[in-house]
Amino acid sequence: MAHLYYGADCRPVEIPDRVLAHVKVVAATKLRRGESFMLTWRHDGEAGGRTSLWMQPSIPLRFVFDAAEPETLDAEYLRELANEATSSRGIVLEWDDSEPVSAPAEARPVSAVAA
């Protein structure tokens, strides 16, 4: 599991490496352009609930990955996240903990996001 640190909170959010790798690319693109967006995910466990963060350039952001090598990115998933980031709903992350956290077989390297 990768870790997302946001703002002054020293407690990271755990997100699968493959998911956070895609979020990192979209976030870097949006924030570099000075564009803010919402990022939401559901909590694990019985308590349920969800968290939403307003991602903006002035708030410190750090991505920490378990793997030393970068993830292979899926162009379609990047486009999907980039499109969500431009909506009023923002990016809503969903993943299944029972699925393997490696990139999908059809994933291919991607150098940029078009959104």
Q: What is the pLDDT of residue 44?
A: 77
Residue 63 included in any domain:
yes
Predicted confidence band of residue 104 (pLDDT cuts 50, 70, 90): very low
The C-alpha angle with vertex 51 and arms to 88 and 32, in degrees rounded to 5, equals 55
Among candidate residues 29, 6, 42, the one with its CA nearest the CA of residue 115 = 29
Residue 109 included in any domain:
no
Predicted confidence band of residue 10 (pLDDT cuts 50, 70, 90): very high
Question: Which tokens sit at 91?
Answer: 């990016």
Mean pLDDT of the chain: 85
> Given a cut of 60, is residue 4 above it in pLDDT?
yes
3-state secondary structure of 25: helix
Containing structural domain, residue 31: 2-93
List the beta bridge partners of residue 61: 6
| Confidence (pTM) | 0.81
The C-alpha angle with vertex 91 and arms to 83 and 72, in degrees rounded to 5, equals 75
Tell me the per-residue pLDDT of 16-63, one tens digit each, with 9 for 90 and over.
999 999 999 999 999 999 999 999 998 876 678 899 999 999 999 999
Other CB atoms within a 10 A radius of the CB of residue 42 amount to 13
Residue 115 included in any domain:
no
Among candidate residues 86, 64, 60, 69, the one with its CA nearest the CA of residue 7 = 60
Q: What is the pLDDT of residue 59?
A: 96
Residue 100 included in any domain:
no
3-state secondary structure of 18: helix
Specify the number of domains making up the chain: 1
Residue 101 included in any domain:
no
Predicted confidence band of residue 114 (pLDDT cuts 50, 70, 90): very low
Other CB atoms within a 10 A radius of the CB of residue 71 amount to 22
Residue 113 included in any domain:
no
Residue 87 included in any domain:
yes
Residue 79 included in any domain:
yes
3-state secondary structure of 13: strand
